Structure 1
Amino acid sequence: MSNPLLDFSAQIPFDRITPADVAPAVDQLLARADAALASVTAPDFPAQWGSIARVLDVATEELGRAWGAVSHLNSVADTPELRAAYNAALPRVTEFWTRLGADERLYAKYKAIDPATLNAEQRQARSNAMRNFVLSGAELQGAAKERFAAIQERQAELQQKFSENALDATDAYAYYASAEEIEGLPADVMQAARAAAEGEGKQGYKLTLKMPCYLPVMQFAKSNTLREKLYRAYVTRASDQAEGDAKRFDNSAVMTEILALRREEAQLLGYENFGQVSLVPKMAHTPEQVTHFLRDLAQRARPFAEKDVADLRAFAAEQLGLQDPQAWDWPYISEQLKEARYAFSEQELKQYFTAPKVLAGLFKIVETLFEVAIRRDQAPVWNEAVEFYRIERDGKLVGQFYLDQPARAGKRGGAWMDDARARWLRPDTGRLQTPVAYLVCNFAQGVDGKPPLLTHDDVITLFHEFGHGLHHMLTHVNERDVSGISGVEWDAVELPSQFMENFCWEWEVLKHLTAHVDSGAPLPRALYDKMIAAKNYQAGMQTLRQIEFALFDMLLHTEHEPQGDLLALLARVRAEVAVLKPPAFSRTAHTFSHIFAGGYAAGYYSYKWAEVLSADAYAAFEETTGADGVPSLETGRRYRQAILEAGGSRPAMESFKAFRGREPTLDALLRHQGMA
C-alpha cells in the first residue's frame, strides 16, 4: 500500500502521488486484470453475472480508477516527469482494453448468462456489453478478424495524420501586416500581433490562422482586402487549393482512405454503411431518422435565417456602403450590426458575476430543486485552489465532487466533468460505493484582492458541467456500467448539462447569482434586458450552419461512395440548407476534425439532437413555474427521478418519456432560440 495509486480505501491520495508511482502501479494492476481475465474465461468458470463481476469487474474497476487519477493529473497538473510516465504507460493500458473488448471467450461467457437470473439494471448492462463485443469484432473469425484489427490500426494512423496536417497547415501560415491594414482590430489583438512579429525580429504585425487572431480580424478589420487574404488562407487549409508549399498538407487522399476503411469495417460487421454502425449505440435508430430530423429543423429555421441575411444585406448597403458582400465580409457586417443594435459590453456585465456569488447561487438552485444539501468536505487535492464538496439527502451521503475553477500553468484548457469513481454495489464487499466527480473549469483568477470575475459564458459553462456532475452523482443505479453517465447514449448524454444552462438566462435566478464586485448591487434590469435581446442574434443562421455540418457528415457515411467527389456532396447539402454559400475554392471539409479525427463520425447531429431533449425538458419547468418565478419542486423531483437517478439503466427515450409523458418535440428549442 506504499504506492498511493494502489490505495482504494478512501479518497484518492492526490497529495502523495508522484510520477515514479505510475509504472509500478500500472504493472501490478494490469497483471491483476490479466489474471482476472484468464480466470473468468477458463472453461470451468461459471457463466454467472455475480461470479464474473467479483473477479473481473473488481480488477478492471481498480485499473480504471487508478489510471483515471493519472489521466486526471496529466490534465490538471502536467509536468515533464508526469507526461513521460503517462505516455510510457498509455500504449499498454490501451492494448489491454482493446484486447478485452474483442475477447471471444469472454463474449461467450456473457452470452451464456441466463437473463432470467439478472435484475433490470444487470440486464441493461449485459445488453450493452453484448452489443459492444460485436462492434469490437468479437464475432469475427480468422482472416476477417485480422483484417478488422488492421483496419483499426490504419484508421488510428490516418486520423492522427489528418490532425497533424490540419494543425501544421494552420501553424505554417503567417502574414505580416502594416499598421494601416489592421485598423479596427481590438487593442489586445494588435498588441499580441505586434509582439509576435517583434519576437521574430520582423516589422509590422504577425497575423495567423489561430482562432484568437483569425476571428477578430474577420470581425473587426476594416480592410476587406486583409479579410479576404486571411479568409482564403483559412478555408483552403490542408487542401489542394492551398498556396505553394502548403499543398503538402493536403488531406484529400487521407479523407478518401478513412471513408473507404469505415465502409469496409461496416461491411465486415454486416452493415451496409458506417452511418448504420455509428447509430447502433445511440438514441437515433437509423440514418433516415437523423436526416429527417435535420431537414425538419432546417425547414423551420430557414425563414429566420433568411431574415438574418436580409438584415445584414440592408445594414451593409445603408451603413457600410457594401452593395455586394462577399464571404469574408459577413463576420464584419455581423459584428457592426450587433454593436449598433444592442449596445452593451460583456466587460460591463462581467462586473456583476463574482465567482463565490455565482457558486452560492448555483448550489442554492440545485439544493432547492433536487432536494439535496451541498457541504464543504475534506480530501487530499492536487492544488490548493481545488475545493471538495459532498452532496447529502436526508443526512446521508449521495456523492462528492472536486471543483477546480481557476486557469493556471500545467492545466489543460477548456472545461469538463469526469468521473473519479462510479456508484456501485461492490460485488466483492457487498457495500455501496458512492460516486465522486471531477468538475474542471478554466476561469480567470481574482486581481487586487478581489474575487474572480466570470463572463456570462463562464457562468453557462459552470452550470453545464455541474449538470453532467448531477447526472453522475444523483444516480440511484447500483450496477457500475449503467450508473450515472455510464451507458447513456452519446446523443443523449448532453441533456442534463444543456438543461442546466437554461437557468443562466432567468431573471429570478440571475438576481441571486449577481453582485457588483465593488458596490454589491445586483444586476440591473436594463442590462439584463439588453443581454436577453442579444441572446438569439442570428440564431437562424447559426442553426442552419450546424445542420449543414451534420447533414454532410451523415450523408458522407451513408449515401456517398468513398472514392467519389465529396465536394460535390457538400455542394448539394449547401444548395439544400445554406443561406450563405461559400466560394468554389472553399475546402472546409479538409479540416473537419470532429468527423475525420474525433469521435463524431456519423454523429455530428448529436449536438442538435440533445438540444431538443434539454429544451423540451426545461419547458416542463417553464410550464409549472409559479407567478413568483420560483420553479416547481414537484417538477424538479420528477426530473431527478426520471432522468438523473435512472442514469444509463434504461434507454434515454424511456427516461425522457417517464419525465415528459411523451416523446420530445422541436417546439421548445425553436421558442428558446427565437424561432417559434
Structure 2
Amino acid sequence: MPAPRRRNLLPSQLLHQCQNTGAPMSNPLSEISLLPPFDRMQPDHVEPAIAELIGNCRDVLREGLEQPGWDTTLAPLEEAEDRLTRAFSPVSHLNSVLSGDWRAPYEAALAEVTAYWTEQGQNPELYEVYRRLSETGGFENWPQARKQMIRLGMRDFRLGGVALEGEERERFAANSRRLAELSSRFANNVLDATNAWTYHTSDVEELAGLPVTAIAAAEEAARSRGNEGWTITLDGPSYLAVMTHADNRELRERVYRAFVSRASDVGPQAGKFDNSAVMEEILALRAEQARLLGFGSYAELSVASKMAPDAGEVTRFLEDLAARARPAAEREYADLRLFARESLSLEHLHPWDIPWAAERLKQSRYAISQEELRPYFPYPQVLAGLFSVVEKLFGVTVEEDASVPVWHRDVQFFWLAREGERIAGFYLDPFAREKKRGGAWMASVATRRQAKAGMQLPIAYLVCNFSAATGDTPSLLTHNEVTTLFHEFGHGLHHMLTRVDVAAVSGINGVAWDAVELPSQFLENWCWQPEAIAMISGHYRTGEPLPRALLDKMLAAKNFQSAMFTVRQLEFALFDFLLHSRPAGASVREIQQLLDEVRARVAVVPVIADNRFQHSFSHIFAGGYAAGYYSYKWAEVLSADAFSMFEERGIFDADTGLRFLGSILEQGGSRDALELFTEFRGREPSIEALLRHSGIDAVTTPDVQ
C-alpha cells in the first residue's frame, strides 16, 4: 500500500553538523539536494528546518499574490512547498522505520505541517488565483497536467474548507490539526503494544511444528534481548509462523489473544495502549468536518475525491461482491471444519486453530505449503527476478548504488534507468526489526517535477517486513511475501515511471485513492506465471529453479480458500465504509456493535469476544484509507481486467507492456482514472476477470462504473 498522502509531502536533504568554529550552523533539512543524507540527520535538526521552510512558503505566497498567475504565483509556490515536503518526508519515514528518538520531533513537525496545509487549503486569495486561471481564455489549450492541477486544486480547496468563515473556519482548522495528532497517536499505540509483548521459552519443544527459519528467528530475537532460548513476538513473520505452524495449541491461543487485543481495553496489556478514546475522537471529528463542508457523512466527503461516483455505489459494489463470494466462503469453511474434525481430531475449531488447520488441509489436498516453497525464493533471487520482469515489461533497468547513505545496514538504494539514463531511484528496507512499523508500504522521497534547476527525478521508499537472514542462510520468502514485494514495487513504478512534470499530479499524486492500488495489484499477477516464476525462483543452496511438480501444485492451490479471504476483505471494507457513513461518529460500544453486525452478514470465520481488530486497524485510523478501504477490491477489479489483456496477448507482450506504461504508469494523476483505464483496455472495467481469477463463479457480471 502507498503511505498516506498529505498533499505531496516528500523529503529533502539534510544536515551538516558544523564544528564549533564560529561558522553558522548548517541544517541539511533546510538545504536541497535529491537524496537525504541519512548518515548526518539528527532529530534536533527537525524543528528549526520545518519552521524555516514553512516561513519561506508563506513569504513566497505573499509575494506571489501581488501579481497573480501561473509563473508568478503557482510555480514559485510549488518550488517552495517541494522543499518543505522533501524535508518532512525523511522525518516521517524515520519515525516509521526507527521510531524512538524520531517520534517527538516528527509529531512536533506534523503539527506545524498540518497547520500549514490547512491554512493553504482555506486561503481565499490563493483559491481565487486557481479560479481565475480556470476561467482564463485559452485554458483548455494548456498542457494537460496544468489543467488537471487547477481542476483538482479547486476541488481540494472546497474540501479543505475555503468557503467556511468565522467560527466554522477556525473549527475546521483546529479539527484538522487534532486529527493529525490523533492518527499519529493511534499508530504509536499499535506499535508500542506490538513491541511490548513477547513470549519467551527455554524449551524448544514448545515450538514444535515451526519451520527451521522461524525457530532460528526466535532464537535471534531472544539473543538480541540478552536472553538464551527462544522469543516469540507479535511482529508479522513471528506471529504468522506460530499461527500457521505451531503444533502447540496453547501457544497458538496465547499469541492469538495477544495479537487480536493489541492497543485495546482487553487482553494481556488491557488498557495500557488503549485506542478506544482515540477512535471515538477521530470519528467525531471526521463527522464534524463533513458536516462543516455540507456532507451528510465522512463517507460522502471521502468519495467526493475518488473514482466511485457516490457512496451508494460503493456500498452496492461491496454488498454485491459479498453476495457472490459468501456462499463459496461458507463451503470452504465447512470443508475446513470437516477436515479438522475427521483428520485433526478438533471437534471445535477455535480462531487460533484456523490458520494451522488450513495449512494442513492445503497440504492434504495439494501436497504443498508456503514453507516447502520458501527455499526456492531467497530474497536476493526474488529481487533480481523482479527487476528482470520489470525490464521485460517496461524497458527499464535497475542498478544498486551502495554509495548512497541509508538509515540501517539492511537498506539498499537503487537507480532506475532507461536506455542508460537515470530516470528515478528508490530505497528498499525489506526486513522486520524492533521499533519498525509493521506491514508494507511505498512512500515518496521526491516527486518528478520541472524545478528551477531542471527536471527533478522521482525517488521512493519501499518498505516490507520479511524475516531477515539468519547465520549463513539468506532471507527466504514465502510466496505470499513474494507477492507483497511485487505489490509494493508496483506502487513504486507508478510513482517513478511518471512522465508528468507538475508535482500535484505527478506519480501517485492526484490519482483517485480507489484507483491507486491498480498498478500494485496488477504487478502481483506475474508471481503466478510460470515464465516469471522461473526468473524469481532458485533454491538458495543449489540455484535449482522451482521444480515443475512444485510449480504445478502451487498453481493448483492458488485459489485455496480465496472466497474466505475475499469475504474477510469485504468485512473490513464494509465495516470501514458503514462506520464512516454515520452522521455523528460512534462510541466504542457502537463501533464494536457495527463490526459484529457486519461480521454476521459477511464473515464465515468466528472470532472471540476479546477480538479488538478495530483498535489496530491502522489503515483507517492512522492511514489514508478512512472510508476508502474498499479501494483494495475496487482497484482489484481494474487490475484483474487489465491483466486479462496480457493473458490474451502474452504476459511479456512488449506492445501491451508499453501500452500499460503509456496509459497508466506514465500518466500519474494528470487524467481521470476511468479515462486512463478505458484508454488502455479499450472499454470500461468489468468484474468478470476478478471473479475468474479468484475462482468465484459469477451469476451475473455487471460492469463497475
**Structure 1 residues without counterparts, runs of 5 or longer:** none
State the TM-score, normalizing by the size of structure 1.
0.84
Residue in 1 aligned with 2:316? 292
Measured after TM superposition, the shift of residue 563 of structure 1 is 5.5
Output the CA distance in 2 between the equivalents of 1:566 and 1:84.
30
Residue in 1 aligned with 2:151? 127
Q: 1:29 aligns with which of 48, 53, 67?
A: 53
Residue in 2 aligned with 1:456? 479
Residue in 2 aligned with 1:671? 692
Is 1:547 the counterpart of 2:567? The answer is: no
Q: Is the 8 A contact 1:185 1:220 kept in 2?
A: yes
Measured after TM superposition, the shift of residue 47 of structure 1 is 2.8
Kindly provide the CA deviation profile for residues 329-367 of structure 1, in whole angstroms up to 9, marking residues without a partner as x: 434432332333333344443333344443333233222
Measured after TM superposition, the shift of residue 48 of structure 1 is 1.4
Kindly provide the CA deviation profile for residues 361-402 of structure 1, in whole angstroms up to 9, marking residues without a partner as x: 323322222234445568633367655544444555433344
Amino acid at match of 1:667: E
Amino acid at match of 1:511: A
SS in 2 for 1:266: helix
Output the CA distance in 2 between the equivalents of 1:184 and 1:488.
47
Larger radius of gyration: 1
Q: Is the 8 A contact 2:287 2:583 kept in 1?
A: no
Amino acid at match of 1:419: S
Distance 1:167 1:71, change over 3 A: closer
How do 1:84-233 residues align onto structure 2 when only pairs under 5 Å count? Answer: 86=106, 89-115=109-135, 116-117=138-139, 118-156=142-180, 159=183, 186=210, 218-219=243-244
Measured after TM superposition, the shift of residue 650 of structure 1 is 0.8
Residue in 1 aligned with 2:496? 473
Output the CA distance in 1 between the equivalents of 2:148 and 2:543.
51
Q: Is the 8 A contact 1:169 1:246 kept in 2?
A: no
Residue in 1 aligned with 2:342? 318
How do 1:35-434 residues align onto structure 2 when only pairs under 5 Å count? Answer: 35-41=59-65, 45-72=66-93, 80=101, 86=106, 89-115=109-135, 116-117=138-139, 118-156=142-180, 159=183, 186=210, 218-219=243-244, 242=266, 246=270, 255-375=279-399, 380-382=404-406, 387-394=412-419, 396-405=421-430, 414-426=439-451, 428=452, 431-434=454-457
Measured after TM superposition, the shift of residue 311 of structure 1 is 0.9
Distance 1:637 1:145, change over 3 A: same
Residue in 1 aligned with 2:655? 634
Output the CA distance in 1 between the equivalents of 2:83 and 2:539.
46
The alignment-based identity, stated in percent, is 50
Residue in 1 aligned with 2:672? 651
State the TM-score, normalizing by the size of structure 2.
0.81
Output the CA distance in 2 between the equivalents of 1:447 and 1:328.
27
SS in 2 for 1:519: coil
After superposing the two structures, state which structure 1 stretch, 377-386 or 332-341, moved more.
Answer: 377-386
How do 1:507-526 residues align onto structure 2 when only pairs under 5 Å count? Answer: 507-526=530-549
Q: Is the 8 A contact 1:172 1:246 kept in 2?
A: no
SS in 2 for 1:492: coil
Measured after TM superposition, the shift of residue 560 of structure 1 is 6.9
Distance 1:604 1:408, change over 3 A: closer
SS in 1 for 2:444: strand
Output the CA distance in 1 between the equivalents of 2:612 and 2:503.
44
Output the CA distance in 1 between the equivalents of 2:182 and 2:49.
32
Is 1:572 the counterpart of 2:597? The answer is: yes
Distance 1:594 1:515, change over 3 A: closer
Q: Is the 8 A contact 2:512 2:673 kept in 1?
A: yes
Q: Over aligned residue pairs, what C-alpha RMSD do you find?
A: 4.1
Kindly provide the CA deviation profile for residues 75-125 of structure 1, in whole angstroms up to 9, marking residues without a partner as x: 567784x66665664443443333223323322322222444343211211
Q: 2:635 aligns with which of 603, 610, 633?
A: 610
Amino acid at match of 2:291: Q
